[in-house]
């Protein structure tokens, strides 16, 4: 019997240490190759580590909560007789990982009437990987209200063809709401949603007949907690609490200090009449081409940034002591508030994406970030960032640059305000666009033209069609 030790690998670019968050196995357990054995927290994200060995766990060498250096033995495994332990895994090549949104391209809403997959045609149950909140694994499901309300949309499993048959034993019945059709929810569920401040029109139902369940409401409310305080907790029993500065919080502090005291920031602001953007978003939401995809003003801003970068490439560059690197591609960063802190994952090569693909990528990026499953590769090599402070009800702010970038845009809340149109005061949807730049690279005229280009798209999204 051969005993092997698993050493903490470098799962990120330049990772030096990580915290052991939770063990998924215990001494005496039998494990297989690629079975998840531990969850660690790096300076950027939570990462699940698979075992490179098969056998019996002899001992856990590092306790939960401990921070250890890369290369430290963390678990020992006794291989079963006749098995040789494979070598430790090679470091991950993050440049070969798929970009955010790659798995969502197969998600489509079917226009035909949903049909129930019969039990006779069902295959044996299969295990599946992790799925995104709001998607799940989907087969075709019929609704009792089909005749009265019209067929509910049916979504194939991610990565499956629309006509693929899915075993009924593992159906996660996900129904996308149809614009103009009332949601299905029992009175207690509606009361729960009201108490939690949840809009049922924004909840993805998973009930057998396309109804919203209690779990659907709670799941949506838990996600909303990231952005809104939906409850007031009791005062803590202790007078003071001390939180160790480590992991992601340590990395955030280091990056913000380096950015603030290295790059000379300059900020600009402009008020924008975004009424036509709101009309455009409304039309996209009711379009069959965007069925099953979340559409918001952030999508229009993302497209506007890509368009404005093409017209003002210096805002998408990087500064070094020897040269300025102008990047003719856009890895669009989206600042995301998560329970673990602020992270900035980015959408790789966003300039090549259609509006729908970009919308899918934004949705996957947001859901993955809220679950704390954003990989280090998804946060590497960003070129320019958007921070959507409007979700917090804020009008504007002075964002700090993401290290390695020279531009960041802040999108404020969009709400009705008095606005002068043709000499008359009218109620219009108004927002404030703010932006910060590295003044070593971006001069005032370039920064002003870039912000003006963003404003012009929000005022008239039809410019994107040019």
7 is catalytic: no
Distance between CA atoms of residues 86 and 124, nearest Å:
32
Residue pLDDT, tens place only, 421-447: 999 999 999 999 999 999 999 999 999
Predicted local confidence at residue 126, as pLDDT: 39
Residue spans of the chain under pLDDT 50: 84-85, 89, 91-175, 226-227
Calpha distance 327→349 (Å, rounded): 11
Predicted local distance difference test score (pLDDT) of residue 105 = 38
Domains of the chain with CATH codes: 2-85 (2.40.50.100), 247-465 (3.30.559.10)
pLDDT tens digits for range 361-416: 999 998 888 777 888 888 889 999 999 998 888 999 999 999 899 999 999 999 99
**In the prediction, which pLDDT does 14 show?**
61
Please, which residues have CB within 8 angstroms of residue 268's CB and are 6 or more apart in sequence? 434, 435, 437, 447, 448, 451
Contacts of residue 16, Cβ cutoff 8 Å, sequence gap at least 6: 69, 70
Name the pTM for this structure: 0.58
What's the rounded Cα separation, in Å, for the pair 373 and 71?
Answer: 23
State residue 456's pLDDT score: 96
Q: What are phi and psi of 410, to 5 degrees?
A: -110, 120
Q: Name the maximum alpha-carbon separation found in the chain.
A: 87
């Amino acid at each position: 019997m051969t005993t092997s030790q698993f050493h903490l690998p470098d799962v990120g670019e330049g990772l030096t240490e990580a915290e052991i968050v939770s063990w998924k196995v215990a001494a005496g357990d039998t494990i297989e190759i690629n079975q998840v054995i531990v969850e660690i927290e790096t300076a950027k994200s939570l990462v699940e580590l698979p075992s490179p060995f098969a056998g019996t766990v002899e001992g856990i060498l590092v306790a939960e909560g401990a921070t250890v250096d890369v290369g430290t033995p963390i678990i020992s495994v006794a291989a079963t007789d006749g098995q040789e332990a494979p070598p430790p895994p090679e470091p991950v090549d993050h440049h070969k990982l798929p970009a955010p949104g790659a798995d969502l391209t197969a998600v489509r809403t079917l226009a035909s009437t949903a049909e129930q997959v019969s039990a006779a045609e069902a295959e044996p149950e299969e295990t599946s990987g992790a799925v995104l909140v709001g998607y799940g694994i989907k087969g075709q499901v019929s609704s009792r209200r089909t005749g009265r309300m019209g067929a509910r949309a049916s979504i194939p499993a991610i990565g499956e063809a629309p006509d693929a048959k899915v075993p009924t034993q593992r159906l996660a019945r996900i129904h996308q709401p149809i614009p103009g059709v009332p949601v299905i929810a029992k009175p207690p569920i509606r009361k729960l949603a009201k108490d939690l401040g949840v809009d049922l029109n924004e909840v993805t139902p998973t009930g057998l007949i396309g109804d919203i369940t209690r779990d659907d409401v709670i799941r949506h409310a838990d996600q909303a907690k990231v952005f809104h305080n939906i409850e007031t907790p009791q005062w803590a029993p202790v007078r003071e609490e001390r939180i160790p500065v480590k992991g992601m919080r340590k990395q955030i502090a280091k990056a913000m200090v380096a950015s603030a005291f290295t790059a000379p920031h300059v900020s600009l602001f402009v008020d924008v009449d975004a009424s036509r953007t709101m009309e455009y978003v409304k039309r996209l939401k009711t379009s069959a081409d965007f069925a099953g995809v979340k559409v918001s003003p952030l999508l229009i801003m993302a497209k506007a940034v890509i368009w404005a970068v093409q017209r003002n490439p210096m805002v998408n560059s990087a500064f070094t002591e020897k040269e300025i690197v102008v990047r003719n591609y856009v890895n669009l960063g989206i600042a995301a508030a998560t329970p673990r802190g602020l992270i900035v994952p980015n959408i790789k090569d966003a300039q090549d994406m259609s509006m729908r693909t970009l919308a899918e990528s934004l949705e996957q990026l947001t859901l993955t970030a809220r679950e704390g499953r954003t990989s280090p590769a998804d946060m590497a090599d960003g070129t320019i960032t958007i921070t959507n402070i409007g979700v917090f009800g804020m009008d504007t702010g002075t964002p700090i640059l993401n290290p390695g970038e020279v531009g960041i845009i802040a999108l404020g809340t969009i709400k009705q305000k008095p606005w002068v149109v043709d000499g008359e005061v009218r109620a219009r949807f108004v927002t404030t666009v703010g932006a910060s730049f590295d003044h070593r690279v971006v001069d005032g005229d370039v920064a002003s033209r870039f912000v003006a280009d963003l404003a012009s798209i929000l005022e008239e999204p039809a410019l994107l069609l040019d």
